[in-house]
Structure 1
Amino acid sequence: MSNPGAVITITIEIILIFAGLVFLWRVAVSPAARTHPAPLRLPAWDVAIPDFVSFLLLVLCGSMAAALAAGFAVKRLPLAGDAVTVFNGAAAQIGMLGGVAVYRFGIRGPRGAPPGPATGIFSSGVLTFLVSLPLLAVTSLAWQAFLKLCGLPAERQDLIGMFAHADSPLLLAVMIALAIVIAPIAEELVFRAGLFRYFRTRMPRWIALTVPALIFATLHVNWTTLDGFASLAPLTVLAVIFSLAYERTGRIGTSIVAHGLFNLNTILLIFSGVGV
């Protein structure tokens, strides 16, 4: 391999994967971890069905309204190509956050005990990210082999290609902010703090883990062209890992940090010339 940046990146990635294997053994696989599992600190979500439906509707309506507004704005702004896609995506994510905010501070209001101190969120997020790497590596290899066996497309997500070919510093900065800040916050609040937390005490655990994860993963696939289908299984596994980390720590900040680090890691792999 003639690209020094790619060599360095791959070396670092291998080190991170091995670190993830060590942590995975310590926190989940070792006899001590299985005999004395850590307590689950996530309390049940005391919310009635109408309130939960309101939450979902606010998120959906917020995302759709923001996307619609972005569509009108694009016609009046000097945007084209990838910039339009990024602008619409950012608007949809911000609209989701707006729906969550309206529910939390408007309809639902502050209830129950206030959250504890944020100590340990970053370290637990880093640990979650590291643990996810070896699991995702195995999942990606198996999924790619399955797709090739079935003759199905294994193309990268549109957004990954956009990062690789972005020619505007401003567009690149917006995409990075969207990937490592806005999207992790919006998606974790909706899929983990919303769907998973609601389902986990009302349905069998495997359903609570897999249904939000599958929804999360399918939204990252273009079902018209099947672009991004290669990410379906890895993203499903990633979402399950985030849910388990959230359940174990009781802090949504843990999965937000892990999500942001995962996206940052993907961006760095793209910039270094390593295929993802």
Structure 2
Amino acid sequence: MTPTMSSVTVTTYRMRPPGRASPFPAGTRCGRRRSVPAMLRPAERAGNYLAGKARAPARRPAVRPRSSWSIMPAPVQVPDMNQYPLREQRKQRSREALLRSASKLFACKGFKATTLEEVAEGAGLHVQTLYRHFPNKAELAAAIDRVYFDRFRKAFQARDTDTLTFWRGWVETAARRLTRDGGAAYRRGLENFYTQPSLSGTYLKTWNQYEEILAEGLREDFGRLPPERSNLPMLVACMLWAGNRRAAFEWAQAKGKRDLAADCVAVVDTVIEAFGQYVRPGR
């Protein structure tokens, strides 16, 4: 089929008339020509060819890694526990509730008869929550004893008298508080210690800390001692603690019929009579 004129699009080009010269020198491109003075900017005419419109820096195309193994993982940000005070407060409240529940149950039922499920139920918590704080029942009982030790340590650090005088007042006050209702709970606690071998080693860790703190205070009170008496502060500290523990044991054996406060004070007075002379004046 032969195309007709109506179906053919004819494109025409405007040609330069013959004999008319190009306004640009031969061998150059169209556009602004540095070789044509009339088309130069004033700065370019002065010889500064870098002047003119500033161009934006060329952007390099993003390079895609060929493999995901070439990407280094970002460092993991470890959360600061100080940013979660409410969580720590809840944990502390749960711990205190468990200690209160265990203290009551140990005093009422005894250490051996009390189960961890009962302790958790008494605190209004799940038993798994208890295991997150205490791995076993012995650690739970030792934590109760450490509560009293922490109170003693804070009071000892804030004392305004010598160690022997402070200890005398401390044991007297503690004995009267523990026996004001007959001392049944305290007596049951002592029985738990002497009848449960698993508790002995756990309690001894805390009890040794009592002796160390007392010995440290006595070293300050006694001042510089001759070399042959350098172990005197620890010896006196062990006498204070062991005498106090023996008085409590005899009180428990007597079923609370003895005066625990009087027995504890008598032990301290004996130690003061024997070693009070080593306390420096003004302590």
What TM-score, normalized to structure 1? 0.31
Indicate the structure with greater helix content: 1
**Of the two, which has the highest radius of gyration?**
2
What TM-score, normalized to structure 2? 0.31
Question: Larger RCO: Structure 1 or Structure 2 (Cα < 8 Å, ≥ 6 residues apart)?
Answer: 1
